[in-house]
Structure 1
Amino acid sequence: MTENVGTIDRAIRIVIGLALLSMLIFAGSEWKWLGLIGLVPLITALAGRCPAYSVMGIKTCAKSRQ
């Protein structure tokens, strides 16, 4: 599996993921479930691969030199 998520994209995903996960602690009871959605950007940032980007043919990482 090749990476398709760049460095800046990863940083943004981590910030958004952590912000959403914080809703588990700080949000009202009816909005707590929304915090679990924060796992998706965190996992894709850590893996460096986004399945949606693969389907759409998007690649935000630098081209590898070969």
Structure 2
Amino acid sequence: MEYADMKANVGGIDRILRMVAGIALIAWAAVLGGPVWAWVGVVPLLTGLFKFCPFYPILGISSCSKCE
């Protein structure tokens, strides 16, 4: 079984925006009693923290200029 190459592909402003959006959605769901779907904020938060988005290699893009 082969594993996908998980090189960093999220960088700079993309990373910051993902983490801010993720935290905002999670806070909305947890603290402010927002809708259940707001827990989807976990996804952008984790992709920002790990600097890897699994959809970027499929689309052939990267927002991390220093990672290549």
Say yes or no: TM over 0.5: yes
1:62 pairs with one of 49, 58, 65: 65
Give the length in aligned residue pairs: 62
Q: Which runs of 5+ in 2 are unaligned?
A: 1-5
Residue matched to 1:27: 33
Cα distance 1:4–1:27, how it changes in 2: closer, same or farther (>3 A)?
same
Q: Which runs of 5+ in 1 are unaligned?
A: none
Deviations 1:9-40 (A, max 9, x none): 11000110011001222135xx1x12210100
TM-score of the pair, normalised by structure 1: 0.81
Q: Which amino acid aligns with 2:10?
A: V
SS in structure 2 at match of 1:26: coil
TM-score of the pair, normalised by structure 2: 0.79
Are the counterparts in 2 of residues 5 and 45 from structure 1 also a CA contact under 8 Å?
yes
Identify, as 1 or 2, the structure richer in helix.
1
Q: 2: CA distance between counterparts of 1:41 and 1:63?
A: 20
Q: Percent identity?
A: 42
Moved over 2 A (4+): none
Q: 2: CA distance between counterparts of 1:40 and 1:64?
A: 21
- Superposition RMSD on alpha carbons, in Å? 1.6
Are the counterparts in 1 of residues 9 and 67 from structure 2 also a CA contact under 8 Å?
no
